[in-house]
């Protein structure tokens, strides 16, 4: 117990991962001394196979999560940017569909992306898209259910958000830019110039990304946060006097942003 040397010897059979892993994400480091080729062959290019697998596969993973972002920047720009991020912030979960949560913030700070201040928000919509894709399945709230609430009780109604629901606010026309670049079709001119808010949902198998009308983001954020309808409406009107309640309710029902009346199961997102 008290001999450090003894302890070190006992641990030695299991030091291989300590030895092998540091150079995987650091091209400046020499390959680990514990590995070799057969019959005294060198292991530099051999070790580089692992290094390449790690960096390329994780860069590919980011490209798969952020296809519109890559389309905007071009492949080479994107991969250089992604490689920096992979090396500084590799994944901590074996579930690659969870990877890239820190990437939009990284893009915001990335020196060479400063000319595209909207890029990080497009990436945020893409990350939310994937969260919605993998979110738990649930039946969306039906318009009739809400219509069945007595008018005098309507202001007190609290809604349960659908597990896929995400709201994102941008100072830029991020939703229009996302929509123009997400598919394979030609990118037409983007006329929008003002700020845009996105609602991302997946009521069934298709992920839906909608641009929210004025006041819509603040309205939905309050509802998703578990506040009653009356307070959500007040907050939306305070931000934007043109807030159109019937249109916003119709939009949120069509998008499947909520599952039920009642705050149960509300996780505050």
Partner 1 sequence: MNDLTAHPDRRASEASRFPAHAAEGLAGTSFKHEHLPAILAAGRQHCFFEVHAENYMGAGGPPHDALTRIRRDYPVSLHGVCMSIGGPQPLDKAHLGRFKSLIERYEPALVSEHLAWSTHETTFYNDLLPLPYTPATLTRVADHVSEVQEAIGRPILMENPSTYVLFAESTMSETAFLRELVRRTGCGLLLDINNVFVSATNHGYSALDYLADFPLEHVGEIHLAGHAEQSDDEGERLLIDSHDGPVANAVWKLFDRVIGQTGPIPTLVEWDSAIPEWPVLKAEAEAAQAILDRHAGGTRRGKVHAVG
Q: Please give the residue ranges that form the binding site for partner 1 (CB under 8 A).
A: 13-18, 20-21, 24-25, 34-39, 41-47, 49-50, 53-54, 57-58, 61, 90-97, 132-137, 163-164, 202, 205
Closest contact distance (angstroms) between CB of 164 and partner 1 is: 8
Closest contact distance (angstroms) between CB of 247 and partner 1 is: 28
160 forms beta bridges with: 260
Output phi, psi for 197, to 5 deg: -115, 145
Closest contact distance (angstroms) between CB of 135 and partner 1 is: 6
- Of 61 and 155, the one with the shorter C-beta distance to partner 1 is 61
- Of 59 and 70, the one with the shorter C-beta distance to partner 1 is 59
Select from 141, 173, 179 the least CA-distant residue to 255: 141
Output phi, psi for 201, to 5 deg: -140, 165
- Of 164 and 248, the one with the shorter C-beta distance to partner 1 is 164
CA atoms of 249 and 252, how far apart (whole Å): 5
Closest contact distance (angstroms) between CB of 258 and partner 1 is: 16
Closest contact distance (angstroms) between CB of 92 and partner 1 is: 5
Closest contact distance (angstroms) between CB of 87 and partner 1 is: 11
- Of 56 and 80, the one with the shorter C-beta distance to partner 1 is 56
SS3 category, 22 = helix
116's tokens: 């595209």
92 burial type by CB count under 10 A (0-12 exposed, 13-18 middle, 19+ buried): exposed
- Of 14 and 76, the one with the shorter C-beta distance to partner 1 is 14
- Of 120 and 132, the one with the shorter C-beta distance to partner 1 is 132
CA atoms of 80 and 62, how far apart (whole Å): 12
Select from 85, 55, 138 the least CA-distant residue to 47: 55
* Residue 218 CB contacts under 8 Å (≥ 6 apart), including other chains: 232, 235, 236, 239, 240
């Amino acid at each position: 117990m008290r001999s450090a040397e003894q302890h070190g010897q006992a641990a030695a059979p299991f030091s291989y991962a300590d030895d092998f892993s540091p150079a995987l994400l650091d091209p400046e480091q020499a390959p680990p001394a514990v590995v070799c080729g057969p019959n005294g062959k060198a292991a530099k290019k051999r070790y580089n196979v692992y290094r390449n697998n790690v960096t390329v596969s994780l860069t590919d993973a980011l490209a798969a999560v952020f296809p519109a972002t890559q389309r905007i920047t071009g492949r080479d720009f994107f991969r250089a940017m992604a490689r920096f991020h992979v090396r500084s912030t590799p994944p901590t979960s074996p579930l690659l569909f969870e990877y890239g949560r820190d990437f939009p913030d990284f893009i915001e700070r990335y020196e060479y992306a400063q000319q595209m201040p909207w890029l990080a928000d497009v990436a945020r919509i893409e990350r939310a898209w994937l969260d919605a894709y993998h979110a738990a399945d649930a039946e969306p709230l039906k318009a009739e259910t809400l219509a069945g609430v007595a008018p005098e009780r309507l202001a007190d109604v609290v809604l349960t958000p659908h597990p896929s629901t995400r709201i994102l606010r941008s100072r830029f026309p991020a939703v229009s830019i996302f929509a123009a670049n997400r598919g394979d079709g030609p990118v037409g001119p983007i006329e929008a110039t003002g700020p845009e808010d996105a609602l991302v949902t997946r009521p069934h198998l298709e992920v839906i990304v909608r641009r929210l009308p004025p006041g819509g983001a603040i309205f939905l954020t309050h509802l998703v946060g578990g506040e009653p309808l009356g307070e959500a409406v007040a907050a939306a009107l305070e931000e934007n006097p043109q807030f159109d309640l019937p249109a916003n309710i119709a939009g949120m029902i069509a998008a499947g942003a909520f599952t039920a009346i009642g705050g149960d199961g509300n996780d505050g997102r």
